[in-house]
Structure 1
Amino acid sequence: MSAALRPHEALRTGATHPVIETRALGKVYSAGSEAEVVALKNVDLKIGLGEFVAIMGPSGSGKSTLMNLIGCLDTPTSGVYLCDGVDVATLDAEERAMLRRDKIGFVFQGFNLLSRMSALDNVAMPLSYARVPPAERRRRAAEALAAVGLGERMQHRPSELSGGQQQRVAIARALIQRPPILMADEPTGALDTRTGQEILALFERLRGEGHTIILITHDAEVAEHADRTCVMRDGELHDGVPPATETSA
């Protein structure tokens, strides 16, 4: 495995606790002076080191809200979230940002690449915030792009790449700091079937190389690539439900 993609030792690999654990996690949004929207209700979830888990459900089911909480992009209204055994509620904003930077990589449906930057510079960008020297940033970004099959396209801008190639750039960027946890929100939603299968095969390879993969999807066929599927319905999580019992939305 390329050192550019190998998970670093941010997780305590000898520990017996789950990598991700939520206990009665809840999230309520205010929708005005009186109205409230309950997005999550008492979610209990455990994900082990090196596991590939799909969180599935239609639009509005709460799956993206759960991803935001697990990814430390938002805070819960109630309940407990432990990341590698650490209660995230005990961390201040800077500590949460450091946890997110060191342990969690994000891949989104819309790629979120900067159009005026090359693939190499898009991938290297997170390292600039970590104050990695420019030459080291470019070296590691080149290794990451080569590892996802884009060694010959690193100087191309997003507009010069296919959708699948852009998603590979996004995956390389998510992995550039070697986070042990990779969260992907509908990563194949903007891709054709064949290209989507190639991206899912890349996630399976990364899982085999030691990453913990959390995949958010509404598609049962996509969820079938995971080791385990959890289904969101009306803000509640149903663990262990076979993906074939759900339909796409």
Structure 2
Amino acid sequence: MSAVVANPAARPAAHPVIETRALSKVYSQGTEAEVVALKGIDLRIEHGEFVAIMGPSGSGKSTLMNLIGCLDTPSSGTYLCDGVDVATLDAEERAVLRRDKIGFVFQGFNLLARMSALDNVAMPLSYARTPVAERRRRASEALAAVGLGERMHHKPSELSGGQQQRVAIARALIHQPPIIMADEPTGALDSRTGQEILALFERLRSEGHTIILITHDAEVAAHANRTCVMRDGELHDSDPQAGHAHVEAKA
């Protein structure tokens, strides 16, 4: 297997990869109105876990994903990403942490229609000024790792929905991040293709990646090894003694 996906397995686990303490988010609407999106979230995720954050629309799961993904900042509380207190970082440092530690996979694939699968996957490396030959080599390896080695020169319109999502996953792997965050990654796929994508996440987890899956679907969440339930901005079914979200462990 390519080092693109195998690298995180060799990392030491001296601390949780994700840890939040009393994390809250409040949005202001106008001069007086406020919306409390998150209410004091305590969450701990270890290296190599596959965790589903499940809840209905408006429960706060997407807000939590944005904070964990360093796409937004909390109103209060603490967030440690791979042992780093994100509040101590400036905007540029947060961007570097996000690039190096987290790969994102979205429901809508977010591929550029005029570019081949290879160029879509290689694109994040262009921002890091990686030499062209190295970009293409690593993108080729990432596509091979998700089973698309023979389709790398096809454009998104020439690929099925499942293949496009595999391209998106390969792009998320290109920086060899320890964390993969997937927001409703099967929402635009049929049931069979969705199962194939979830099996791919399970394989990536077995190879050392930490997978955080955002979903409203209990059947999708069942593929994870832990399920955290969000309702009205709160994390329910928590284990106060362990400090972990409630675990529904697979046999």
TM normalised by structure 2 equals 0.93
Superposed CA offset, 1:18-67 (max 9, x none): 11000000000111121111100000000000000000000000000000
For 1:155, what is the secondary structure of its paired residue? coil
Rounded Cα–Cα distance in structure 1 between residues aligned with 2:53 and 2:13: 26
How far does the alpha carbon of each residue in 1:62-111 deviate from its partner, in whole angstroms, 9 at most, with x for none? 00000000000000001000011111000111111110010100000000
Aligned 8 A contact 1:12 1:84 in 2? no
SS of residue paired to 2:6: coil
Cα distance in 2 for partners of 1:20, 1:174 equals 18
Partner of 1:26: 24
Instruction: For residue 7 of structure 1, report the CA deviation from its aligned partner.
Output: 3.2
Runs of 4+ in structure 1 deviating by more than 4 angstroms, as ranges, are none
Instruction: Tell me the equivalent position of 1:247.
Output: none
Residues 1:105 and 1:214: Cα distance change in structure 2 (over 3 Å): same
Task: Report the Cα distance in structure 2 between the residues aligned to 1:35 and 1:162, rounded to whole angstroms.
Answer: 44
Cα distance between partner residues in 1 of 2:33 and 2:83? 35
2-structure distance, mates of 1:160, 1:33: 49
| 2:13 and 2:47 in contact (8 A); partners too | no
What's the Cα RMSD here? 1.5
Partner Cα separation in structure 1 for residue 222 and residue 8 of structure 2: 28
- Alignment partner, residue 240 of structure 1: 246
Tell me the residue number matched to 1:3: 3
Number of the residue aligned with 1:98: 96
- Please say if residues 124 and 138 of structure 1, whose CA atoms lie closer than 8 Å, have aligned partners that are also in contact: yes
Residue 199 of structure 2 corresponds to: 201
CA distance in 1, matches of 2:114, 2:51: 34
> Percent identity among equivalent residues?
85
Taking the aligned partners of 1:237 and 1:190, their CA distance within structure 2 comes to: 26
How far did residue 5 of structure 1 move? Answer: 2.3
Query: 1:179 and 1:64 mapped to 2: Cα distance?
Result: 20
> How many pairs are equivalent?
241
Conservation of the 8 A alpha-carbon contact between 2:121 and 2:139: yes
Q: How does 1:1-249 map to 2 (within 5 A)?
A: 1-8=1-8, 13-15=12-14, 17-238=15-236, 239-240=245-246
Query: How far off is 1:4 after superposition?
Result: 2.3
The alignment's TM-score, normalised by the length of structure 1, stands at: 0.94
Matched-pair contact (CA < 8 Å) for 2:66–2:72: yes
Runs of 5+ unmatched residues, structure 2: 237-244
Point out where structure 1 has 5 or more consecutive residues left out of the alignment: 244-249
